[in-house]
Structure 1
């Protein structure tokens, strides 16, 4: 197969401030289109990180059910409007933005004073209307994350003065793909994948696509670094010996077995856990008066109390 690559078919900035991109991958083997398309769609929608306002502190306000005299919107409406601000950031660190104004004024996102490396994609986004000459002061907590966080998941003692906001970190809003079959001169079939990506404007579709590919590569590379089965088996066996060894000198009285099971073991001169481990399950059941019920009791006790499982290949020394 030839090397695969994305061929951009269309790229445009939408009126909402977001981006749309269309890409093509061709010369795929039959069945590869659905595999690649599904994987990229899942990663684009669920694993690409973004930045959003996660909390706001409004001077003089202690809870989200309050109102501000002279402001048309109540606090819940303001929080909902803040949720729609799209932020582009060069860092994953927590940052803080501030806004201090005097009315009357129409409050929009471009009035927020932001630290370096932070940019608002939709500066004309409406926040609230101040109808009187009051002073209004707000502080915004800006975080990087993945997916969606409910406000109830973000409360902590350090930010008790902040009102929490449902945060949408996902920069990719929608992903579609379709697969088309191609027939060559020999009538053999190959596929091509057409991928469409819509973002909120904080990232371009081609950049999001590259990140999705890198996340997928990193995931499979970690699988390739997994040790082979033989090495894992050796380590497991070694760990089991280390785990069992400290218990070998424990007297069987410590297992608190029933009288019948205890007496049978004692008659067979099995006085410690170490002695018991010399017997396989079949050999234990061959002891005089030691039936299946007693054997099951011993097995479960060893497993539950000491995390030891008798192996069938155990032999007498």
Structure 2
């Protein structure tokens, strides 16, 4: 059992995107334990924003070149990957780049968008080498965690392949570039076996090192909270009747699978209240939605029940549980036709 010694963290140095902090004192062995945990969360579990796809007018695939542009498309995409952004949107956002005339084009030339802030506008993207040269590009920005390769981004969130000419880009969502820690001995009174943790963090500028530490610590506290409740009865799910404002919750808050979410959103069902009304009116109408089959219906019902909502009983006969994939394939064919 360890002694009850109060541990604290204090900044040693903070300069822009760099921060150095000292935490302690800790019992022997705790410095490495906490340092490793924080490092892993800082590098792999913090949410950020990144460009996930690019479409350049006149370009069908990345192994191409553009007239009047010094760099080839591969180099342009590599440069665009270096753009660091803050996204204030919950979903994807499309940015536009439209430039004409000789000169260097930077991230600052991207058309301003109130939902996205570019923190390194000086990042060079390409160079136009004549006054007649021009470029038009569309950049998709999404939120995510960690690193996602372009191969995994070749498919849209709803499961469909990206349109021809839309090039997926390796997405580096993590806002933390480097993390390093060291453990040193420290003294508390007559006890010389205590440890202190020296933590160094470098971010990409989209968040401060202090924010990164706080978010990482909150994630760890949340994960360990599950163990502190071992043996206790689980807390009851919040009842939907506890307040009418719950019906105004966005369906995004249900954490639905992307296919079901997109199908509902396309149909204009964006609030939980609308979804419950649709279920009350009969599931047969919901099953007519594109890419929304029996599997999606079951997933939606389960998510609503998990959140404590009173879900209307199913009005479908048992033999209505048809195969969703067949239904979605037929729907896709009709749309393509």
Q: Taking structure 2 as the reference length, what is the TM-score of the superposition?
A: 0.63
**Structure 1's 166 and 2: CA in aligned 2 closer, same or farther, altered over 3 A?**
same
The alpha-carbon deviation at position 187 of structure 1 amounts to: 4.4
The alpha-carbon deviation at position 90 of structure 1 amounts to: 2.6
User: CA contact under 8 A between 1:171 and 1:201: conserved in structure 2?
Assistant: yes
Q: Could you tell me how far apart the structure 1 residues matched to 2:151 and 2:67 are? A: 27
The residue that corresponds to 1:7 in the other structure is 10
Equivalent of 2:172, from 137, 158, 168? 168
The residue that corresponds to 2:122 in the other structure is 124
User: CA contact under 8 A between 1:147 and 1:170: conserved in structure 2?
Assistant: yes
- CA radius of gyration, larger in: 1
User: CA contact under 8 A between 2:8 and 2:25: conserved in structure 1?
Assistant: no
The residue that corresponds to 2:239 in the other structure is none
The residue that corresponds to 2:207 in the other structure is 203
SS of the residue corresponding to residue 127 of structure 2 reads strand
Q: Could you tell me how far apart the structure 2 residues matched to 1:114 and 1:150 are? A: 27
The residue that corresponds to 1:149 in the other structure is 148
Instruction: List gaps (5 residues or longer) in structure 1.
Output: 14-18, 230-317
The residue that corresponds to 2:273 in the other structure is none
Query: Does 87-96 or 202-211 show the bigger shift?
Result: 87-96
User: CA contact under 8 A between 1:10 and 1:21: conserved in structure 2?
Assistant: yes
Equivalent of 2:52, from 27, 51, 54? 54
Q: Could you tell me how far apart the structure 2 residues matched to 1:199 and 1:185 are? A: 36
Deviation per residue, 1:251-308 (Å, 9 max, x gap):
xxxxxxxxxxxxxxxxxxxxxxxxxxxxxxxxxxxxxxxxxxxxxxxxxxxxxxxxxx
Q: Could you tell me how far apart the structure 2 residues matched to 1:155 and 1:96 are? A: 17
The alpha-carbon deviation at position 147 of structure 1 amounts to: 1.1
Matching of residue 24 in structure 1 with residue 28 in structure 2: no
Query: Does 35-44 or 157-166 show the bigger shift?
Result: 157-166
Instruction: List gaps (5 residues or longer) in structure 2.
Output: 234-337
Q: Could you tell me how far apart the structure 2 residues matched to 1:187 and 1:153 are? A: 53
The residue that corresponds to 1:34 in the other structure is 32
The alpha-carbon deviation at position 81 of structure 1 amounts to: 0.7
SS of the residue corresponding to residue 206 of structure 1 reads helix
The alpha-carbon deviation at position 140 of structure 1 amounts to: 0.4
Deviation per residue, 1:204-257 (Å, 9 max, x gap):
00000000001001111233445569xxxxxxxxxxxxxxxxxxxxxxxxxxxx
- The RMSD of aligned alpha carbons is 1.8
Equivalent of 2:187, from 171, 183, 188? 183
The residue that corresponds to 2:137 in the other structure is 138
User: CA contact under 8 A between 1:96 and 1:114: conserved in structure 2?
Assistant: no
